[in-house]
Structure 1
Amino acid sequence: MKTKAVRLYGEKDLRLEEFELPAIKEDEILAKVICDSICMSSYKAANQGTAHKRVPNNVAEEPIIIGHEFAGEIIEVGSKWQSKFKPGQKYSIQPAIYYEDGPVGVLSAPGYSYKYIGGDATYVIIPKDVLEQDCLLSYDGPGFYPASLAEPLSCVIGAMHANYHTTPGSYVHKMEIVEGGKMAILAGVGPMGLAAINYVIHRSDRKPSICVVTDIDQTRLDRAAEIYPVEAAKANGIVLIYLNTGEGDPVAKLKDLSGGTGYDDVFVFAPVPAVIEQADDILGFDGCLNFFAGPSNPQLKAQMNFYNVHYAYTHIVGTSGGNTDDMKEALEVMTKGLDPAGLVTHIGGIDAVIDTTLDLPNIPGGKKLIYNHIEMPLTPIADFAEKGKTSPFFAELANLCEKHNGLWNIEAEEYLLANFEDLNQ
């Protein structure tokens, strides 16, 4: 089986190549990759090369396939796994795996560490490391892109689960956000913030009574409100408020919206000291600050009120990524109707992977979704209509997205996969 894949050979050295995959072993699975969502972590790996903790030192000789937020269809199953997996099943991958290597544990991941598996490829071999740790996850919902976005959604699910609160008079910690509590999502209308809003609105087992989402860009706030309206949150018992904190006293505004009590759960989605300090200032009694944003600056610091740590029991956690249970929950909620399309702003083919990955921080918008069996320049969904003036292909994509509030959707995906030959006509 030949595959076409983007492989990492070293620092900023990505190459789109076609090569032969070996026959699978009894404990492996051959799979088709339909789509991959390019993550900032892939940008970091591509720019750091072997300096990245998950990239092997010998990639110059044994290159790895990049991409770790991917979904597709199983093609062939080795004899060891035929009782669990079947050809034709749709799948997603939990990329962060851990395996024993003598006395030392190894943290590895598809998209960083493996020669024959990564998201930016047409076909891959799923190795025993993934299978034995139950990190190949079946997906029974519609389309493929939701399963590709299960990994980023699992990150915000993990963040909600990681928050904790105390039990008065004891040292017992209660994990999770406060049921019926007050929540704030600061700098919360980027891709991951939108995922958090989506999850909060649709979650059935636990939810806040009020959720305030902030940013300093009114256009981005307005778009978030279009995608996730306050009416939809109200129907699920949540008062959702979008607040521009670019002017005036943001702390005073936020405290006023909380009724003066402060917030039980505060999530920070930007590694900015001023935003971190805002979060600390609005914590209520026993409030939990979750620093979600992964900083690239190892010296990032912000002030914190330690008087409140002692007397008001405020505390801080930091989360990064989701575990396998979080991935399973993400797939389950999407099967039940949660659509993560609000994350996606660009669509492209496998030929767009290299430039997109290496320049990711400078490309505005949200998630860049790649369809690996297609050649297509990375294109903002917002540009489909303009391109449609000269291309019937883009005109139809624009029409299908317009039907879904300007968002990517299952109909558009199905049309793309069935008609991509018309792209250059």
Structure 2
Amino acid sequence: MKNTNNTQPTSSFSSPSGRSGGALTKAVRLYGKKDLRLEEFELPQVKDDEILAKVVSDSICMSSYKAATQGTDHKRVPNDAAENPIIIGHEFAGEIVEVGAQWQHKFKSGQKFSIQPAIYYEDGPVGILSAPGYSYQNIGGDATHVIIPKDVLIQDCLLAYDGPGFYPASLSEPLSCVIGAMHANYHTTPGSYIHQMEIKQGGKMAILAGVGPMGLAAINYVITREDRKPSLMVVTDIAQDRLDRAADIFPTEWAKENGIELIYLNTGDIENPVEKLKEISGGGYDDVFVFAPVAPVVEQADAILGHDGCLNFFAGPSNPEFSAKLNFYNVHYAYTHIVGTSGGNNDDMVEALDCMSKGLDPAGLITHVGGLNAVAETTLNLPNIPGGKKLIYTHKNLPLAAISDFEEMGKTNPLYAELAKLVAKTKGLWNVEAEEYLLANAPEI
């Protein structure tokens, strides 16, 4: 790994207007396999069909780990990354700084934003699979400032955010993945083979291996959703501490107030999990979501499907040969079926931002906070770092720190002492007040 910091301190940022070149930015760039470098460089002058933006926060995704370890073998990373490195990070939010003439009717300086990275732009650096955070030299989440290109803008993938704070907008992309999965499930009615898209209203749902970061997002979305809900939601895992944390963040009483019977179940302590799960549901489930690419979990999901049950394989395996057994007798006679989703679309992202503006707080996803200086090491070691999302504030120089360690760190560092007090107000979860304090008081990169 190369983790160089070739930056010189800058006291402030100014618009590049009137300059022969562009603005300075600091960013983590990918040159090749496991070759990430924190560097300072000059952005090009903003064109009429582009927007200059300040990034405030980015959450590190396992997809960035895959891109960083695969380098140019990754389908979204250009072959010439060694000569023209790309900025990593695609779950980011910030503020618009300068708007090119062609977009001044729609955007303005000072607006908060999020990005839908799955732009599928045919003329992008790697063709239709091009995406910010994987394919572009001047836009990615792990930077202080970026240029939002026309590729993003003409597809309406720059999304205004009017809610509190910045971290919710950073997490709108992972939440959109959950939303897309819910919308992708389908059912039929007796005598008809027309697919009715969506989870079953008032049905029975199971989320297996469901207390990781994305599982927590799914629980939150299902409970707070207004237009469609299951009557029963069973969430499983084999780690009691993770289940306990989920139950503390999303209590069963809160779910009941919103019309859902929520049950957390440790299947690691049960001799026959399938039998127990079917007993709880009274026979089987309408919608089953698999949040871990583990064959026995997939097979467990298939075994608990009820009539016309839909299995959504949400987890993305890294092994292209990954497989599991399915009961095809039930496929034929019980109309069970399987779907898979990979990411949300633009509509899902808009819905995620709308949910957040109405009060959905995705803070349960976040377990660690750090600065831009921590990105390279964190990204390359992501599978070995426990917990949920690692949230980066790109203008800050901070080690990656678990929120649960703030109190201990606060014994020698007053910044963390205050942050510990602030997160204690929300059961140890990150919150807007803590974010505002960090942005005002943490050291600059």
Q: TM-score band (shorter)?
A: over 0.9
Aligned residue runs from structure 1 range 405-424, under 5 A: 405-421=427-443
Contact 2:277 2:304 in 1 (8 A): yes
Deviations 1:183-234 (A, max 9, x none): 0000000000000000001000000000000000011000000000111110
Amino acid corresponding to residue 89 of structure 2 in structure 1 = G
Deviations 1:144-181 (A, max 9, x none): 00000000000000000000001221220000000000
Q: Distance in 1 between matches of 2:404 and 2:175?
A: 23
| Alpha-carbon distance, 1:105 to partner | 5.4
Deviation >3 Å, runs of 4+: none
Q: Distance in 1 between matches of 2:122 and 2:69?
A: 28
Q: Distance in 2 between matches of 1:100 and 1:321?
A: 19
Match of 2:78 in 1: 56
Q: Residues 403 and 163 from structure 1, CA distance in 2 versus in 1: closer, same or farther, beyond 3 angstroms?
A: same
- 1:153 counterpart = 2:175: yes
Match of 2:260 in 1: 238
Amino acid corresponding to residue 165 of structure 1 in structure 2 = H
Contact 1:30 1:123 in 2 (8 A): yes
Q: Distance in 2 between matches of 1:128 and 1:169?
A: 48
- 1:265 counterpart = 2:287: yes
Match of 1:368 in 2: 390
Contact 2:54 2:94 in 1 (8 A): yes
Q: Distance in 2 between matches of 1:371 and 1:69?
A: 12
- 1:256 counterpart = 2:279: yes
Aligned residue runs from structure 1 range 18-29, under 5 A: 18-29=40-51
Contact 1:393 1:422 in 2 (8 A): no
SS at match of 1:31: strand
Q: Distance in 1 between matches of 2:398 and 2:127?
A: 40
SS at match of 2:120: strand
TM-score by length of 1: 0.98
Amino acid corresponding to residue 332 of structure 1 in structure 2 = D
Q: 2:311 aligns with which of 289, 295, 312?
A: 289
Q: 1:220 aligns with which of 230, 242, 261?
A: 242
Structure 2, unpaired ranges of 5+: 1-22
Q: Distance in 2 between matches of 1:324 and 1:161?
A: 13
Match of 2:413 in 1: 391
Q: 2:207 aligns with which of 157, 178, 185?
A: 185
Match of 2:5 in 1: none
Contact 2:396 2:444 in 1 (8 A): no
Q: Distance in 1 between matches of 2:244 and 2:294?
A: 22
| Alpha-carbon distance, 1:107 to partner | 1.5
CA RMSD of aligned residues (A): 1.2
Amino acid corresponding to residue 197 of structure 1 in structure 2 = I
Q: Distance in 2 between matches of 1:165 and 1:319?
A: 16
Q: 1:78 aligns with which of 97, 100, 104?
A: 100
Contact 2:179 2:352 in 1 (8 A): yes
Q: Distance in 2 between matches of 1:32 and 1:232?
A: 37
SS at match of 1:246: helix
Q: Distance in 2 between matches of 1:227 and 1:38?
A: 22
Q: Distance in 1 between matches of 2:123 and 2:130?
A: 11
Q: 2:340 aligns with which of 306, 318, 337?
A: 318
Q: Distance in 2 between matches of 1:25 and 1:132?
A: 14
Q: Distance in 2 between matches of 1:240 and 1:70?
A: 31
- 1:298 counterpart = 2:347: no
TM-score by length of 2: 0.93
Structure 1, unpaired ranges of 5+: none
Q: Distance in 2 between matches of 1:367 and 1:208?
A: 27
Contact 1:263 1:283 in 2 (8 A): yes
- 1:67 counterpart = 2:86: no
Amino acid corresponding to residue 30 of structure 2 in structure 1 = L
Amino acid corresponding to residue 249 of structure 2 in structure 1 = I
Contact 1:201 1:238 in 2 (8 A): yes
SS at match of 1:348: strand
| Number of residue equivalences | 421
Q: Distance in 1 between matches of 2:272 and 2:427?
A: 33
Q: 1:129 aligns with which of 138, 142, 151?
A: 151
Match of 2:14 in 1: none
SS at match of 2:80: coil
Alignment identity in percent? 78
Deviations 1:285-322 (A, max 9, x none): 00000000000111111111100000000000011100
